[in-house]
Structure 1
């Protein structure tokens, strides 16, 4: 009963060992990364770029170069998918567009929106970049494998479009608010204000989760669901650590501000 209900929302899992393996890897690795964030073992970027110092010599990138390294390969994978898998129907085209737009927006923000104060370690940038690239490529490939299959009984395509638009706009808006916290040349962190920052410290993560579930609803594939669930676990952990960091740095940080879920967590 549960399985039949579940399968009414997604395409049948494809007979592809690659996609099936990537579905498990995405879910498990991202969930584990979220637990690591809670335990204090952070991926070294943003405010946590030097939290876990190592005795070994490590290569440091500028934040801008590091962020471009994270997102550009995935953006190019999305862009190339229009040439590799052209004209495969409305759902596939929208999925390709959503994946490509997501990473284009990331690069745009890196170049024109974000302001930086730290750096990024190459040892963190490479696995994150590879993860994004493989995720974008697998998302599109999993959609390609649905060609010729009957549509899921419950069509989530149009709700997915709405969720994706809300998520990408909300994420961009809160990134813009973060960038406006600092005047030109300033590098210190401040308590964010405006938007949903008054109730959660990571509304940009909240909208990113909404955006990825929008992509999942557009695709309705098992891989899309596994990736979104894994991303949710990771961003829950990252936001928990971010709130803990603000509490340690600012005595006047409002205790009623949650990590990512308003009034809950």
Structure 2
């Protein structure tokens, strides 16, 4: 317990935050496990993949570009609004607001100008992911607000977090650009084995760098909630990357077996 307090601010006096730290972690871990079992959130290459076709038809779908905008825009607006709703001259709080706003601005920018899409996105999956990003962003900021005026943790990790954020956001953007080059135009449903960058050794380097981004949020903020959500995101993207590698193995006979899912040479 003493070691934890060296890295973390104390638990906030909020039943909501403390409950959501547990519930959010459990929920995303369950979804990540479901991904490995073939029950996917229906977007990207898994948009038409479902263990329950009737469920997909009942909720319907929207275009992938519109769906992706729904995923990231509410979280971007929440992070942007925090500069006015939760004004503070605290450096750690300012860094967290800026990192969250920049991350989700980048995602909206990619949706508008970089990614190429085909097919649709299930509305239920859109709602689940958008709600998760929006609520986690709002709760990270709300949790940080409780730290104002408290004694800093013994180990200050916010500057390490800044470095990790820069590495994560650049690495994620670079590999998203490589993925975009695989498809010549919107609406054309074609898949190829990605190449270049870390794609030569793992099939989901964009997920690896996204995990770094969410852990950078924790290092900048050092709150229990941000730790919980970073852990939850890791569990989900581990499951999603496992499912992605399995998909490539099933679709391409020439998929190189040495290419791992998420962690070079390991997993």
Shorter-normalised TM-score: what interval? Answer: over 0.9
Shift of 1:25: 1.6
Q: So what's the TM-score if we normalise by structure 2?
A: 0.96
Is 1:79 matched with 2:80?
A: yes
- Which consecutive segments of 4 or more residues in structure 1 shift more than 4 A? none
Aligned to 1:196: 198
Q: Counterparts of 2:225 and 2:59 in 1: how far apart (Å)?
A: 34
2:98 corresponds to: 97
Of the three residues 49, 52, 71, the one matched with 1:51 is 49
Calculate the aligned-residue CA RMSD, in Å. 1.0
Deviation, 1:57, is: 2.9
Output the CA distance in 1 between the equivalents of 2:82 and 2:16: 17
Give the SS at the match of 1:197. helix
Q: Give per-residue Cα distances to partners, 1:84-143, cap 9 Å, x unaligned.
A: 111241000000011111111110000001011221011111121111110000010100
User: 1:26 offset after TM fit, Å?
Assistant: 1.6
Q: Which residue of the partner structure matches residue 28 of structure 1?
A: 26
Residue segments in structure 1 that go unaligned for 5+ positions in a row:
none
| 1:142 matched residue in structure 2 | 143
Please state how far the C-alpha of 1:144 moved relative to its aligned partner: 0.5
TM-score (norm 1): 0.97
Alignment of 1:1-265 (within 5 A): 3-52=1-50, 53-55=52-54, 56-184=57-185, 186-265=188-267
What is the DSSP-based 3-state SS (H/G/I as helix, E as strand, rest coil) of the residue aligned with 1:158? Answer: helix
Is the helix fraction higher in 1 or 2? 2
Instruction: Choose 74-83 or 185-194, whichever is displaced more.
Output: 185-194
CA contact (8 A) 1:88 1:144 kept: no
Task: Give secondary structure in 2 for the equivalent of 1:196.
Answer: helix
Give the CA deviation at 1:264.
0.3
Q: Residue 206 of structure 1: CA displacement?
A: 0.3
CA distance in 2, matches of 1:59, 1:100: 30
Deviation of the 1:6 alpha carbon: 1.4
